[in-house]
Amino acid sequence: MAILKCENVSFAYDGENVLEGVDFELNAGDYLCVVGENGSGKSTLIKGLLGLKAPRGGKITMGGGLKPTEIGYLPQQTELQKDFPASVREVVMSGRLNSLGTRLFFSAEDKKAAAANMERMGIDDIADKCYQELSGGQQQRVLLARAMCATKKLLLLDEPVTGLDPVAQNEMYNLIKLINLCDGITVIMVSHDIHEAVRYATHILHLGNRQLFFGTAADYRQSDPARRFLGGDRT
Amino acid sequence: MIFAEMFSYAFLTRALAVGVLVSLCSALLGVSLVLKRYSMIGDGLSHVGFGALAVAVAFNLAPLAVAVPVVVLSAFLLLRISRSSAVKGDAAIAMISSGALAVGVIVISLTTGMNTDVSNYMFGSILALSTADARLSAALSVCVLALFVLFYPRIFAVTFDETFAKATGTRADLYNTLIAVLTAVTVVIGMRMMGALLISALIIFPPLSAMRTCRTFRSVTICSAAVSVVCFVAGMAASYAWELPTGPAVVVVNMLAFGVFSLIGMTKHK
């Protein structure tokens, strides 16, 4: 069953199309990697999927009972967060905000969900540590735990391994794959690293201000955009 | 000793009560403002408040009744302008703040002339609070405190990561506006006592002191509130004991506190 469907979607800034012809369908349990150069429209597509930017044309539909506010989003880190005083627990808890509804405060159930996700990400022993004092890899795992708190169906990860050392990168990739396989959570990941993308993902979406390719990772290896991109330098 | 003596004056008791409430409000809101890089918003709003107070006095209107809505409105405006990106956030604040200050000074010089009133607006006076003012100020502060506590989880989320909060369906703009409006109300109440030029110190010093030593949002918030109240009471006692102007005395105590917390922070973390 399709969990996400984009039909000829386009996005524009100031009346100018920055991304067009996006047309794909994802089933529950798929692992999609969105690749493309800087400025190819990856971030715009993410904003569109999250409902933060309205498409200019086309239609984005969600199936399988998925609501736009129930996407587990892992954003790129901002400058602001680098010196933010917050404990790991506080950050992860904030992922439960969309389960609050009209309640004002978190319940025991919210706390339990946060604790469970911290345990899964292996950060339960640093739950009371300060977020800003963690290593890059630990910080990403905290944000992943927060994203997991917000969703049961779809994770949307914006360059989750950027800035991590190779060991932490591998850990992160494996963790994401594990979530995808064990929990059946659909994953959409924006990535610079096309070689890793082809290794882990089931599907690839290649953007260059329009949709250059969508299909399985195996098909992608044989395609024209891939040959140019895979042969090129790794940014 | 000194407090018993201070409490024998009704106006001092009143000023102390309102001051403690305002210190609490500004310290809580300040945590979010400082972390969101909006420190200057308090400064900008206080200058608008100065302009509004000057106009109110010139036309013989109730000062708070004029200043509160005007400053709340400019808080809306500041957020809107800084988002529309035609003029960037800090520039917008600087523009509105100096503009309002200029208008205020002109209105005052045209009506009463530059006198002690102006100095009172600029640097504050604990004599400025009437009983009615004090009651209204106390009521507004309690509202600010209640709203902050009730929306604490959402305020944290919006402060830490606005994009994530929006993506998961939190109305970030609403809470940004809420923070700005609460700040506006706090600034207007506090500026009578602290002065238009000094009220922003109440917003930025306590959170910055707290952040030297505390490492979680909750502890920073609580510590900031405690520091703010203690510094206010100490500053007021100092101002009574040595006949210093109250606003500046409170700011100086806050500066000392910041120094002490920085030292503690340095020995603790390095």
Q: Which residue stretches of chain B have pLDDT < 50? A: none
Over A168-196, what HEC string results?
HHHHHHHHHHHHHHHHCCEEEEECCCHHH
A54 part of contact set with chain B, CB < 8 Å = no
Q: Which residue stretches of chain A have pLDDT < 50? A: 233-235
* Residue-level pLDDT at A235: 40
> What is the C-alpha end-to-end distance of chain B, expressed in Å?
40
Q: What is the ipTM of this complex?
A: 0.87
Minimum distance, in Å, between the CA of residue B176 and any CA atom of chain A: 16
The pTM score is 0.86
In chain B, residues with a C-beta closer than 8 Å to the C-beta of A150 are 168
Domain count, chain B: 1
In chain B, residues with a C-beta closer than 8 Å to the C-beta of A82 are none
Q: CB A146 to CB B166 under 8 A?
A: no
Q: CB B150 to CB A70 under 8 A?
A: no
By CA distance, what is B269's nearest residue in A? A133
Helix axes B246-269, B199-213, angle to 10 degrees: 20
* Domain boundaries, position B179: 2-269
The rounded Cα B249 to chain-centroid distance in angstroms is 16
Residues 12-51 of A with CB under 8 A from B: 50-51
* Residue-level pLDDT at B270: 59
* Residue-level pLDDT at B223: 96
Question: Could you tell me the strand order of the sheet in which A2-13 lies?
Answer: A16-27, A2-13, A57-62
Rounded Cα distance between B197 and A32, Å, is 55
Strand partners, A30: none
Query: Which of B241, B235, B242, B240 lies closest to B257 in space, CA to CA?
Result: B235
Helix axes B246-269, B172-194, angle to 10 degrees: 130
Q: CB B163 to CB A84 under 8 A?
A: no
Rounded Cα distance between A194 and A158, Å, is 14
pLDDT digits (tens, 9 = 90+) for A138-170: 999 999 999 999 888 899 999 888 888 889 899
Q: CB A85 to CB B217 under 8 A?
A: yes
* Residue-level pLDDT at B82: 67
Q: In this structure, which amino acid lies at residue A213? A: F
Residues 153-172 of A with CB under 8 A from B: none
Alpha-carbon distance values, A105 to A72, A99, A150, B106 (Å): 20, 10, 16, 48
Q: Residue B266's CB: how many other CB atoms inside 10 A?
A: 11
By CA distance, what is A94's nearest residue in B? B157
Q: In this structure, which amino acid lies at residue B70? A: V
Minimum distance, in Å, between the CA of residue A93 and any CA atom of chain B: 9
Class of domain A1-66+153-235: alpha beta
* Residue-level pLDDT at A233: 43
In chain B, residues with a C-beta closer than 8 Å to the C-beta of A130 are 215-216
Of B36, B156, B164, the CB nearest to A90: B156
In chain B, residues with a C-beta closer than 8 Å to the C-beta of A68 are 169
Instruction: Judge contact between A218 and A24, C-beta under 8 A.
Output: no
By CA distance, what is A69's nearest residue in B? B168
Of A51, A81, A85, the CB nearest to B215: A85
Instruction: Judge contact between A114 and A89, C-beta under 8 A.
Output: yes
Pseudo-torsion of CA A110, A111, A116, A118, nearest 10°?
110
Q: What is the CATH number of the domain that holds B35?
A: 1.10.3470.10
Q: CB B215 to CB A73 under 8 A?
A: no
Q: CB B168 to CB A75 under 8 A?
A: no
The rounded Cα A188 to chain-centroid distance in angstroms is 5
Minimum distance, in Å, between the CA of residue A75 and any CA atom of chain B: 7
> What is the C-alpha end-to-end distance of chain A, expressed in Å?
35
* Residue-level pLDDT at B117: 66
Rounded Cα distance between B11 and B29, Å, is 27
Indicate the domain borders of chain A: 1-66+153-235, 77-151
Alpha-carbon distance values, B261 to A78, A132, B39, B205, B207 (Å): 27, 19, 19, 11, 11
